[in-house]
Amino acid sequence: MLQFRHFSPKMAALVAAILVCAALAPATAQPAKRSGAGPCRQGALSLIGMLDSGEDNTADYRHAYEAVVQTCGPVAPPTTPAQPRAGQEACGKLARAMLDSIEEGKMNTQGFVQTRSRFAQSCAPRSN
Protein backbone atom coordinates (compact mmCIF):
# COMPACT_ATOMS: atom_id res chain seq x y z
CA MET A 1 0.00 0.00 0.00
CA LEU A 2 1.34 3.42 -0.96
CA GLN A 3 1.79 6.03 1.71
CA PHE A 4 2.31 9.69 0.96
CA ARG A 5 4.14 11.44 3.75
CA HIS A 6 5.27 14.53 1.87
CA PHE A 7 3.04 16.21 -0.66
CA SER A 8 4.91 19.12 -2.23
CA PRO A 9 3.10 22.29 -3.36
CA LYS A 10 4.19 21.55 -6.92
CA MET A 11 2.62 18.09 -6.76
CA ALA A 12 -0.52 19.54 -5.15
CA ALA A 13 -0.83 22.07 -7.98
CA LEU A 14 -0.39 19.32 -10.56
CA VAL A 15 -3.04 17.13 -8.91
CA ALA A 16 -5.40 20.11 -8.68
CA ALA A 17 -4.81 20.93 -12.36
CA ILE A 18 -5.57 17.36 -13.38
CA LEU A 19 -8.76 17.33 -11.32
CA VAL A 20 -9.84 20.66 -12.79
CA CYS A 21 -9.08 19.48 -16.29
CA ALA A 22 -11.15 16.36 -15.73
CA ALA A 23 -14.01 18.39 -14.27
CA LEU A 24 -13.97 20.98 -17.04
CA ALA A 25 -13.42 18.65 -20.00
CA PRO A 26 -17.14 18.13 -20.69
CA ALA A 27 -17.71 21.89 -20.44
CA THR A 28 -15.08 22.63 -23.07
CA ALA A 29 -16.67 20.13 -25.44
CA GLN A 30 -19.94 22.08 -25.22
CA PRO A 31 -19.13 25.82 -25.47
CA ALA A 32 -22.66 26.89 -24.45
CA LYS A 33 -22.32 25.17 -21.08
CA ARG A 34 -20.67 27.34 -18.42
CA SER A 35 -18.74 26.09 -15.40
CA GLY A 36 -19.92 26.83 -11.89
CA ALA A 37 -18.03 28.62 -9.15
CA GLY A 38 -16.44 25.42 -7.79
CA PRO A 39 -14.65 24.30 -10.96
CA CYS A 40 -13.71 27.89 -11.82
CA ARG A 41 -12.27 28.41 -8.34
CA GLN A 42 -10.19 25.25 -8.71
CA GLY A 43 -9.08 26.36 -12.17
CA ALA A 44 -7.98 29.77 -10.86
CA LEU A 45 -6.13 28.09 -7.97
CA SER A 46 -4.37 25.79 -10.44
CA LEU A 47 -3.35 28.73 -12.61
CA ILE A 48 -1.99 30.57 -9.57
CA GLY A 49 -0.01 27.51 -8.47
CA MET A 50 1.47 26.96 -11.91
CA LEU A 51 2.33 30.65 -12.34
CA ASP A 52 3.97 30.74 -8.90
CA SER A 53 6.13 27.74 -9.80
CA GLY A 54 6.99 28.97 -13.31
CA GLU A 55 5.02 26.24 -15.09
CA ASP A 56 3.16 28.49 -17.51
CA ASN A 57 4.55 26.69 -20.54
CA THR A 58 3.10 23.27 -19.70
CA ALA A 59 0.18 21.38 -21.19
CA ASP A 60 -1.57 21.54 -17.80
CA TYR A 61 -1.33 25.34 -17.78
CA ARG A 62 -2.64 25.53 -21.35
CA HIS A 63 -5.58 23.30 -20.45
CA ALA A 64 -6.43 25.16 -17.22
CA TYR A 65 -6.04 28.52 -19.02
CA GLU A 66 -8.43 27.46 -21.79
CA ALA A 67 -10.95 26.04 -19.32
CA VAL A 68 -11.05 29.19 -17.17
CA VAL A 69 -11.03 31.63 -20.10
CA GLN A 70 -13.59 29.67 -22.13
CA THR A 71 -16.07 28.46 -19.48
CA CYS A 72 -15.92 30.68 -16.37
CA GLY A 73 -18.29 33.61 -16.03
CA PRO A 74 -20.59 35.11 -18.62
CA VAL A 75 -19.95 34.60 -22.30
CA ALA A 76 -18.03 37.51 -23.79
CA PRO A 77 -16.80 38.24 -27.30
CA PRO A 78 -13.50 36.49 -28.05
CA THR A 79 -10.48 38.53 -27.15
CA THR A 80 -7.53 39.03 -29.40
CA PRO A 81 -4.10 39.25 -27.84
CA ALA A 82 -3.53 42.99 -28.21
CA GLN A 83 -0.95 43.22 -25.47
CA PRO A 84 2.47 41.67 -25.08
CA ARG A 85 2.59 38.76 -22.70
CA ALA A 86 2.68 39.91 -19.09
CA GLY A 87 5.17 38.54 -16.61
CA GLN A 88 4.38 35.81 -14.13
CA GLU A 89 3.87 38.32 -11.32
CA ALA A 90 1.28 40.34 -13.27
CA CYS A 91 -0.46 37.17 -14.44
CA GLY A 92 -0.51 35.88 -10.86
CA LYS A 93 -2.20 39.12 -9.75
CA LEU A 94 -4.83 38.79 -12.46
CA ALA A 95 -5.46 35.14 -11.57
CA ARG A 96 -5.79 36.12 -7.90
CA ALA A 97 -8.24 38.88 -8.86
CA MET A 98 -10.34 36.30 -10.72
CA LEU A 99 -10.21 34.02 -7.67
CA ASP A 100 -11.26 36.88 -5.38
CA SER A 101 -14.26 37.63 -7.62
CA ILE A 102 -15.27 33.99 -7.64
CA GLU A 103 -14.98 33.69 -3.86
CA GLU A 104 -16.99 36.92 -3.38
CA GLY A 105 -19.81 35.53 -5.54
CA LYS A 106 -19.10 38.04 -8.32
CA MET A 107 -18.19 35.61 -11.10
CA ASN A 108 -21.20 36.65 -13.19
CA THR A 109 -20.36 40.37 -13.15
CA GLN A 110 -18.83 42.66 -15.73
CA GLY A 111 -15.83 43.18 -13.43
CA PHE A 112 -15.00 39.47 -13.57
CA VAL A 113 -15.38 39.46 -17.35
CA GLN A 114 -12.97 42.40 -17.64
CA THR A 115 -10.38 40.72 -15.39
CA ARG A 116 -10.76 37.42 -17.25
CA SER A 117 -10.34 39.25 -20.57
CA ARG A 118 -7.17 41.01 -19.36
CA PHE A 119 -5.87 37.64 -18.16
CA ALA A 120 -6.73 36.02 -21.51
CA GLN A 121 -5.01 38.80 -23.47
CA SER A 122 -1.82 39.03 -21.48
CA CYS A 123 -1.31 35.61 -19.85
CA ALA A 124 -1.78 33.14 -22.67
CA PRO A 125 0.41 30.04 -22.37
CA ARG A 126 3.97 30.52 -23.51
CA SER A 127 5.03 28.52 -26.50
CA ASN A 128 7.74 25.95 -25.96
24-54 per-position pLDDT tens digit: 444 444 444 777 889 999 999 999 999 999 9
Q: Is 28 exposed, middle or buried (0-12, 13-18, 19+ CB in 10 A)?
A: middle
Task: Specify the pTM.
Answer: 0.68
Phi, psi of 118 (to 5 degrees): -60, -40
Residue 125: the pLDDT is 86
Going from N- to C-terminal start, the domains of the chain cover 9-122
End-to-end CA distance of the chain: 38
Mean pLDDT over the full length of the chain: 78
Distance CA 9, CA 49 (A): 8
Reported as type and span, the H/E element at residue 99 is: helix 88-103
